[in-house]
Amino acid sequence: MDKYLEMIRIRFLMMLAYRTNYYTGILIYGINIGAYYFLWTAIYSGKEEIQGLSITQMTTYVAISWMARAFYFNNLDREMAMEIMEGKVAVELIRPYNYLGMKTMQGLGEGIFRLFFFSLPGLIIVYFVFPIQITLKPSVWGLFAISILLSFFINTQLNLLTGITTFFLYNNTGLIRAKRVVIDLFSGLLLPMSFFPGWAQGIMKFLPFQGISYIPSMIYTEGFTHQQAIQAIGQQFIWVIILLIPIQILWVIAKKQLVIQGG
């Protein structure tokens, strides 16, 4: 376990090594939240509520989903693709640890870094600029915390899955990009699920994506009742378990037919 904790620390150091990335990141998230805020005020334009969400709830939803995204988002798929394409994965395989586990820990290190140095200060700034509602209920915070941890796992698992496909496809840049758009759209980051047409919502219920952004944001904005929130977390948890299966299977196959590229 020690080594996995150490990996989180190393990732922290690596994030600190690239300060410019960090500052531009804050800027990009700020712009995004601002843009969506103005977009939604235009859409609401005087209406009390749409699909059961008030304008304040909507703004909070946007701010919270972007801040949560800072935590769950990572580029593990792209990193894995690079490591596999450049043959660096050979070095990973001569270490006495689980490659995928280590990757997950790197993602977690990155997430925790952004949560503390990025999301929290960012949220405070956003709080003063836009009319959002910061809840004080510990039960909501508690459920939200569990929920974003699970969204981190779902998102990371999808990234690992996409990353592993590099073993078979050798170049999967297109797939990585497609996955990113699908997640941003279907996870409820750009649009809450309740805004999708009924049939689409029906399909989405059977996909893991809404566990990434929609569920934690709805829990935080109290768009869910307590009962619904617990159910939604249960759903996220089930997805975490289900996604382990294809990852494990693909990983075993990948190792068998591994070709180290570049000698």
Cα 39 from Cα 95, distance rounded (Å): 49
- The answer to the question of residue 260 lying near other proteins (CB under 8 A) is yes
Closest distance to other proteins from the beta carbon of 67 (Å)? 26
Cα 182 from Cα 236, distance rounded (Å): 18
- Between 9 and 137, whose beta carbon lies closer to other proteins? 9
In sequence order, the β-bridge partners of residue 54 are: 49
Instruction: Show the site string, 236-255: x = touches other proteins by CB under 8 A, - = not.
Output: -------------------x
In sequence order, the β-bridge partners of residue 53 are: 50
- The answer to the question of residue 42 lying near other proteins (CB under 8 A) is no
Those residues whose C-beta lies under 8 Å from the C-beta of residue 64, and which sit 6 or more positions away, are 132, 216, 217, 220, 221
- Between 8 and 140, whose beta carbon lies closer to other proteins? 8
Closest distance to other proteins from the beta carbon of 74 (Å)? 16
Q: How far is CA 221 from CA 110, 138, 233, in A?
A: 25, 13, 15
Number of residues that bind other proteins (CB under 8 A): 27
Instruction: Show the site string, 68-87: x = touches other proteins by CB under 8 A, - = not.
Output: ------------------xx
Instruction: Show the site string, 93-112: x = touches other proteins by CB under 8 A, - = not.
Output: xxxxxx--------------
Closest distance to other proteins from the beta carbon of 3 (Å)? 4
Among 14, 129, 178, 200, binds other proteins (CB under 8 A): 14
Cα 60 from Cα 130, distance rounded (Å): 9
> HSE (CB half, 13 Å, CA atoms) of 20?
0
Question: Three-state SS for 147?
Answer: helix
User: What is the contact surface with other proteins in residues (CB under 8 A)?
Assistant: 2-3, 6-7, 10, 13-14, 17-18, 86-88, 90-91, 93-98, 255-260, 263
